[in-house]
Homo-oligomer: A and B are copies of this chain.
């Protein structure tokens, strides 16, 4: 048994918000209250920025009703940041830790945040300051290694799956008027979320017909061939694309267009692959095409939060406090799947040092041979994470009324 470490606990949120990141926060707060060694809980306002500015919120007294509301509030209730630590930050961080007797540091984020955690753990060890540092996973991109999946992904995945399914019904209904519908998903490097667009698909005619992932080199010719084939077969086509796609030569799809729109500060604005590809469909196939680009709505929409995801987000928050109080440090909480039928998941830990420097891409086995659709293995992996089955939809079986006139064409 480790000796009891008495002190305050600081918790921060970092990186892009999610629909369930606050469920993790509430898991931390409720669990922390059950441990006498935790004197109080401080929230870092805007992550490590709040630490550097000594901008802390006293969360110890938050009442239950508010916590319950916060648990169902999307985005990051403490404020988030994308601040990388610099060499001259460390002395300041230690000063703030000491001034407030912070002995537990919990940081909720993705790869970059785990790197921040690791640096803070190293700092404490180097300086002989007793501190327990726990990384808590969170990313809609699902690109953290050493965890089966990450909280935030399941809800964003549910959003994509439902949106693409409904978008498909829309274009199917309008076939002959709208022809090709594209959905642009977040995720520049890892294709997990884009792949999740297929989770509402049951039949071949169901959307999406085609899925283009960042892991697969993109060929415009192949894309146009694929779309044409779908169009001939169904009379319409539905396509999910990652917001950034690259050709085999490493060129960003649609970037040349975006460069024209570079702003006065010299930033190149990537307009998003879907707008560009919709235009190419119109220009080269002569078919009407529309791009739907919900952007950040995907990551913070409570509208589609997954119950499984919210539950697990809460669970990793609790587990982080328990691990810290149990003596662990320098680790990230992981989710470990223990069964798929029925789906079951528990928590574990992985060394921060390993997690911080790895990025988890969609494996080849999760993509079909043609590189334009997630595989059955991916579906098996991802389906439980989006929670309750999508509400069922129906299609009339066509019972044609016999024709009684000479039909005009």
| Interfacial residues, chain A to chain B (CB-CB below 8 A) | 13, 16-17, 19, 42-43, 45-46, 49, 52-59, 61-62, 66-70, 72-82, 92, 95-96, 99-100, 159, 162-163, 166-167, 169-178, 181, 183, 257, 261, 263-265, 267, 269, 271, 275, 279, 282-284, 286, 290-297, 299-304, 391-396, 398-401, 403-405, 407-409
Contact = CB atoms under 8 A, between A and B. Distances in A.
Contacts of A271: 275
Given A46-B175, A76-B173, A100-B401, 17 more contacts: A43-B396, A46-B176, A53-B409, A59-B399, A66-B394, A68-B394, A72-B391, A73-B395, A75-B170, A77-B396, A80-B177, A99-B404, A166-B300, A170-B300, A183-B297, A269-B279, A293-B293
A224 to B, nearest CB: 14
B92 A408 contact: yes
Contact of A407 (B42, B54, B267): B54
B294 A17 contact: no
Which among A16, A80, A296 has the highest number of chain B CB atoms within 10 Å? A296
A74 B52 CA distance: 49
B401 A57 contact: yes
A59 to B, nearest CB: 7
B286 A296 contact: no
A352 to B, nearest CB: 23
B295 A73 contact: no
- What is the count of identical protomers in the complex? 2
B290 A296 contact: yes
Given A75-B173, A263-B283, A69 B392 contact: yes
A172 B73 contact: no
A267 B282 contact: yes
A74 to B, nearest CB: 5
Nearest to A46: B176
Closest 7 CB pairs between A and B? Answer: A69-B394, A75-B169, A292-B295, A56-B401, A76-B173, A73-B393, A170-B300
Nearest to A68: B394
Contacts of A176: 46, 49, 81
Given A58-B399, A292-B295, A166 B405 contact: no
Given A261-B279, A293-B295, A408-B92, A174 B80 contact: yes
A175 B79 contact: yes
B282 A269 contact: yes
Contacts of A407: 53-54
Nearest to A409: B53
B173 A17 contact: yes
Contact of A163 (B45, B61, B297): B297
A381 B16 CA distance: 35
